[in-house]
Amino acid sequence: MDPFWNEVEDMNDGSKKCKFCGHLFANGTSISRIKWHLSGERGHGVGICGQVPKEVQEAAFLAMHGGNKRHKSIASSSNVDISTCPQEQDNAVLGNLAQGVGRERIHSRLEAANGMENTGEGSFQHVDRSVSPWRLGVDAHENKGEATQRTDLADQFADSTWVQIHSALSKAQKLNEISTYLMQEDEDVERLHDAFETVPRTEQVQHLERGSSCERPSINQAVYNVQNMVRVRTEPVEEDVENSGRLARPDAGARSSISLKYNTSETRGVPLPTSSTKPVGQAFEENTKVIWSLLMDDKVSTIGIYGMGGVGKTTILKHIYNELRERKDICDHVWWVIVSQDFSINRLQNLIAKRLNLNLSSEDDDLYRTAKLSEELRKKKKWILILDDLWNNFELEEVGIPEKLKGCKLIMTTRSKIVCDRMACHPKIKVKPLSEEEAWTLFMEKLRNDIALSREVEGIAKAVARECAGLPLGIIAVAGSLRGVDDLHDWRNTLNKLRESEFRDMDEKVFKLLKFSYDRLGDLALKQCLLYCALFPEDDRIKRKRLIGYLIDEGIIKGKRSRGDAFDEGHTMLNRLENVCLLESANCNNGRRVKMHDLIRDMAIQILLENSQGMVKAGAQLKELPDAEEWMKNLTRVSLMQNKIEEIPSSHSPMCPNLSTLFLCDNRGLRFVADSFFKQLHGLKVLDLSCTGIENLPDSVSDLVSLTALLLKKCENLRHVPSLKKLMALKRLDLSRTALKKMPQGMECLNNLRYLRMNGCGEKEFPSGILPKLSQLQVFVLEELKGISYAPITVKGKEVGSLRNLDTLECHFKGFSDFVEYLRSQDGIQSLSGYRISVGMVGTYFWKYMDNLPCKRVRLCNLSINRDRDFQVMSLNDIQGLVCECIDARSLCDVLSLENATELKHISIWDCNSMESSVSSSWFCCAPPPLPSCMFSGLKEFYCVRCKSMKKLFPLVLLSNLVNLEVIDVRDCEKMEEIIGTTDEESSTSISITKLILPKLRTLRLRYLPELKSICSAKLICNSLEDITVEDCDKLKRMPICLPLLENGQPSPPPSLRRMNIKSKEWWETVVEWEHPNAKDVLRPFVKFGLV
């Protein structure tokens, strides 16, 4: 969970309230909006918190600026800008509302115009979205209409960005209603942004015409805008590669900003991964055509697709689903839900609700859950729901799925025709195996042989393909296992093994084919890795990092000198399993993942069950521990993760002497484990109780002398852990995010420990004498969170320095002397692959919100560097992120050896009131010429905030090194005169720099700089600029940015420019000048005035 959720309180109606200022956010508000609210940064359509503590504001600011991503655009033939970024869509519309609409009267108008009934407590119940002027241009399916006090629809209806249009011309008549309502209102606008924010930007066309007029558009202009939108919907869209999505206006020589892109991911899900090669076969083509025809048939409401496991049902639907995401003419919403064998009405409801962004987890009343889900689905109007891998029939009304709702369809896949019959599917489509010719084509595609097979081998290969009985999954698995095999004897042996197998039915045939691919892995560690994946719930997207950690704990990956080497080995193993088609890549935004096909998982579990060596009930909705008779003596691995087990009573004491792995993690309701449970599990090596509600770890755990991994991460109620003195085999101990009241006893005895992650357990300083005895430690993370609360703890530099095998370090040194002592005690920090170090009195929120900074970073806080005789300039050649807060250094040169910091990517300077420049002029006098070309060469982001003495940010001579700089953000620096200034030495020489290039600069933000007179004396070429903000810089009279020129010599906006936030219209029109006299005319469509 994002820790910023802790800064808002949950209200009874689902809304959230800022803990500092009491601002209310509507139900469904994104965490990004809350961070912007706390960051103090304007320009994002969010009200700013006026009472947020400085350290929280700083943390929120850093969290939102840790990494900006580019957004591509597609050119269209009309002057319509449809943002690719959901937040930008919000901002573009919501930042432009005209002053003059009182809150109470708006609400009453909303009721009348939207067809909404006031349900009390500030919320509205949806009745008829078709007449809602507030919803034109957005799909109302997500909007529950909650309107709370002090919400944020700021300055709405101000520019030509006036309104988003829904259903194009069919709703044009509603514009007269809107115009009437608007012209009646002349009071101040109350902020209503969050109420609107619950309406997602979906598949409807978003009309955000660039401009900044504060006048309300006429009704004729609005109708013209509607016609523009229709043209966007109906005319072909071509990408203008040369002009990067912008078209030249021959009459003015300028380019208009045109981007047309639909945000499908928010309400239509992300594309499902499919094979790079399209499925082969006439059956695939025919079935696909049939399904598409049924989707277009209004009379069909329920479609059943059945066939044996591995025949390709899911593959067909994946391709259809991915195309449906782009086909907004067919449906407004399409959702994919994997049902699997672990079926229950409650679980299915939760899965569907999650796709709808509806939270049912706290609802215990079955009838209410059903009614709420049904109501939400009915509001969505036109949707397609796909239920994949259905094993049981159920009553639709019991779940809350409306039957035969106009415009809505239900598609399901199952292995059983009986399930289709009982679910009243009509029609039913049977997916049949591939023909012999089609099977051979698929086999050869998956074999991927660069060298043609000999005639004799080809004959055997065709026979092998025939043995796969036309089953795509079997063909893929067998062909993958034979990749690179060219020996005739190998091929013959394969064919003989396949022919020797006798099958009772086709399901057994599939199992044998998959088992054959498993057997061909050869490498025992690779086989064990595949079997380990089966311990996770069906269809789980398994984090590679987590899985590899288990493989290290179990000893499947061993003999590696460092943890980094072990992870490299783990990734290599997973890559090999992907290459032979036994695992699938399931990467997502938050990391690399793998996924197991359910049939391959079934095969792996079957292997684990042989000789009763495994018990896998992960994600099986268990409320109690399996019965005693299921705990066989031969068990080696048991996975009960992701269940609903609440206690393990004293009646359970399984006799499993060979059990090595026990997963009880993610049983969030588990609060009690009896001491008797571990009494007879003396062979246990890996015990994972993470994300459970246990309060005390049983004392019997102290006797598990074979334990190599004890994982208690996020056990936020855990207050007691028994003595660890006997656990001398322990290599990984994770006590992070627990509520331990004191340090566990016996930690100094864990001399084999490689990985230690924990908080301070209520201590202010890590106890002396423990770390030097943990000489094998490779990962040491001392976090400052106790449960979800901040609990700072420091550590001695000399003791950390004694850890000679350390690879990863996260800790807090009390003062700079401790940090220096750590650096002196070994070869230095350069040996670490990752570190996150703070020095000095750190703000409360440092650890929680620094994750989006680079992996090697140092933060210096509240240090008196000029008065500290022990202070030495740091020489950290590999540092990637530096944050200086409230230190009295005169420049960064007093802190860091700049010429060696070649990997430095991020610099933040906060409240450093002694600094006059980031790099002092005196340093250039002392530095040996020429200036090192590598200095700051990797820098991407530079933030400077509330530095009262800062006059210059960079010296001009340094600018040529900043080839990778992407963000310059300066605010609240009351003496700042120049962003890029000349040194005294440069001023005295006759050689002057007239033009410089910042090729990657995307963001330039200058705010509250009352003395700023110059950005740069030289001309700047910044053709990657996306965002320019100038606010309260009244003395700035020249913008040195050179715009690209068209062939006719007229200026053009930077190709990637998206917006310019300018506070003062007067400053823009009468004060500031650009390099080209026509620049303002060209840039005017991008400009938004005021506090947006």
Predicted pLDDT of residue 258 = 28
745 pLDDT band, cuts 50/70/90, is: very high
Cβ atoms of 469 and 506 within 8 Å: the answer is yes
- Stretch 809-835: mean pLDDT, rounded? 82
Within a domain: 889: no
Are 234 and 188 in a shared domain?
Answer: yes
Predicted pLDDT of residue 12 = 67
Most confident of 168-177, 397-406, 845-854: 397-406
Predicted pLDDT of residue 890 = 86
Predicted pLDDT of residue 430 = 86
Of 573-582, 666-675, 945-954, 961-970, least confident by mean pLDDT is 573-582
Predicted pLDDT of residue 43 = 64
Question: How many structural domains does the chain have?
Answer: 6
Are 59 and 91 in a shared domain?
Answer: no
Q: Which amino acid is at 298?
A: D
- Stretch 574-591: mean pLDDT, rounded? 83
Predicted pLDDT of residue 843 = 63
* Cα gap 1031→1007, rounded to integer Å: 5
Alpha-carbon distance values, 386 to 273, 324, 355 (Å) = 16, 11, 11
Q: Which residue has the higher pLDDT, 135 or 764?
A: 764
Q: Is pLDDT above 80 for 289? A: yes
Strand 686-688 and strand 672-673: pairing?
A: unpaired
Q: Which residue has the higher pLDDT, 827 or 381?
A: 381
Predicted pLDDT of residue 925 = 54
Q: Is pLDDT above 50 for 161? A: no
What would the pLDDT profile of 505-521 be if each residue is shown by its tens digit? 556 767 777 888 888 88
Q: Which of 592, 545, 591 is nearest to 755 (CA)?
A: 545
Predicted pLDDT of residue 324 = 86
Q: Is pLDDT above 60 for 441? A: yes
Domain final position from 612, 639, 666? 612
Alpha-carbon distance values, 628 to 607, 608, 643, 658, 672 (Å) = 22, 19, 18, 16, 18
Q: Which of 693, 770, 788 is nearest to 733 (CA)?
A: 770
What would the pLDDT profile of 780-815 be if each residue is shown by its tens digit? 999 876 555 666 789 999 999 999 899 999 999 998
Which residues fall within 8 angstroms of residue 735, CB to CB, at 6 or more apart?
712, 713, 721, 744, 757, 758, 759, 761
Angle at 284 between CA 282 and CA 289, to 5 degrees: 95
Q: Which of 257, 259, 255 is nearest to 1051 (CA)?
A: 255
Of 65-79, 434-448, 657-671, 1000-1014, least confident by mean pLDDT is 65-79
The residue assigned the tokens 């049912």 is 360
Token pair, residue 34, equals 């809350």
Are 385 and 468 in a shared domain?
Answer: no
Q: Which of 783, 808, 807 is nearest to 795 (CA)?
A: 783
Most confident of 318-327, 541-550, 872-881: 541-550
Whichever domain contains 558, its CATH number is 1.10.10.10
135 pLDDT band, cuts 50/70/90, is: very low
Q: Which residue has the higher pLDDT, 196 or 1040?
A: 1040
Domain final position from 227, 260, 293? 260
Q: Is pLDDT above 50 for 167? A: no
CB atoms within 10 A of CB 437: 11
Residue 15 DSSP SS3: coil
Q: Is pLDDT above 90 for 1012? A: yes
Domain final position from 373, 396, 430? 430
**DSSP secondary structure of 883-931:** EEES---SSGGGTB-GGG-TT--EEEEES-TT-SBSS-HHHHHHSPSSP
Which residues fall within 8 angstroms of residue 620, CB to CB, at 6 or more apart?
342, 643
Q: Which amino acid is at 119?
A: T
Cβ atoms of 146 and 124 within 8 Å: the answer is yes
Within a domain: 1051: no
165 pLDDT band, cuts 50/70/90, is: very low
- Stretch 89-101: mean pLDDT, rounded? 36
Q: Which residue has the higher pLDDT, 731 or 955?
A: 731
988 pLDDT band, cuts 50/70/90, is: low
Are 174 and 317 in a shared domain?
Answer: no
- Stretch 220-227: mean pLDDT, rounded? 38
Q: Is pLDDT above 90 for 1007? A: yes
Residue 495: its H or E element: helix 488-500
**DSSP secondary structure of 504-517:** SSHHHHHHHHHHHH
Residue 800 DSSP SS3: helix
Most confident of 337-351, 420-434, 532-546: 532-546
Q: Which residue has the higher pLDDT, 115 or 897?
A: 897
Reduced 3-state DSSP string for 305-350 = EECCCCCCHHHHHHHHHHHHCCCCCCCCEEEEEECCCCCCHHHHHH
Whichever domain contains 425, its CATH number is 3.40.50.300
Predicted pLDDT of residue 404 = 81
Predicted pLDDT of residue 514 = 80
Rama region for 276: left / alpha / beta (φ>0; ψ in -120 to 50; rest)? alpha
Predicted pLDDT of residue 722 = 96
Q: Is pLDDT above 50 for 708? A: yes
Q: Is pLDDT above 60 for 115? A: no
Are 422 and 491 in a shared domain?
Answer: no
Residue 420: its H or E element: helix 417-422
Are 537 and 511 in a shared domain?
Answer: no
Within a domain: 660: yes
Predicted pLDDT of residue 934 = 72
The residue assigned the tokens 């009182």 is 102
Are 354 and 323 in a shared domain?
Answer: yes
Q: Is pLDDT above 70 for 343? A: yes
Predicted pLDDT of residue 661 = 96
What would the pLDDT profile of 257-284 be if each residue is shown by its tens digit? 323 233 344 456 677 767 655 566 677 7
Q: Residue 706's Cα: distance from chain center in Å? A: 37
Phi, psi of 459 (to 5 degrees): -65, -40
Q: Is pLDDT above 70 for 216? A: no
Are 107 and 245 in a shared domain?
Answer: yes
* Cα gap 710→731, rounded to integer Å: 9
Q: What residues are paired with 24 via a beta bridge? A: 17
Predicted pLDDT of residue 924 = 57
Q: Rg of the Cα trace of the chain? A: 32
- Stretch 913-918: mean pLDDT, rounded? 90
Alpha-carbon distance values, 129 to 194, 200, 910 (Å) = 18, 14, 48
Within a domain: 1017: no
Cβ atoms of 723 and 745 within 8 Å: the answer is yes
Cβ atoms of 254 and 1078 within 8 Å: the answer is yes
Per DSSP, 938 falls in state T
Are 239 and 119 in a shared domain?
Answer: yes
Whichever domain contains 625, its CATH number is 3.80.10.10
Percent of the chain whose pLDDT exceeds 90: 31
Torsional sign, CA 679, 680, 685, 688: negative
**Beta strand segments in 147-253, E:** 246-249
Are 334 and 407 in a shared domain?
Answer: yes
Within a domain: 840: no
Cβ atoms of 676 and 653 within 8 Å: the answer is yes
Percent of the chain whose pLDDT exceeds 70: 73
Token pair, residue 642, equals 């992701």
Q: Is pLDDT above 50 for 669? A: yes
* Cα gap 400→394, rounded to integer Å: 11
Q: Is pLDDT above 70 for 147? A: no
Q: Is pLDDT above 90 for 618? A: yes
Please, what is the average pLDDT of the chain?
A: 76
Alpha-carbon distance values, 1004 to 873, 943, 968, 1057 (Å) = 30, 10, 5, 11
What would the pLDDT profile of 484-494 be if each residue is shown by its tens digit? 787 888 888 88
Are 307 and 161 in a shared domain?
Answer: no
Predicted pLDDT of residue 547 = 96
Within a domain: 999: no
* Cα gap 75→307, rounded to integer Å: 44
Q: What residues are paired with 811 via a beta bridge? A: 837
Of 153-162, 347-356, 384-393, least confident by mean pLDDT is 153-162
174-184 and 103-114 helices, crossing angle to 10°? 160
Predicted pLDDT of residue 560 = 82
Range of the domain at 709: 613-753
Within a domain: 586: yes
Strand 333-338 and strand 383-390: pairing?
A: parallel
Q: Is pLDDT above 80 for 142? A: no
Are 671 and 741 in a shared domain?
Answer: yes
Whichever domain contains 450, its CATH number is 1.10.8
Within a domain: 398: yes
* Cα gap 973→590, rounded to integer Å: 36
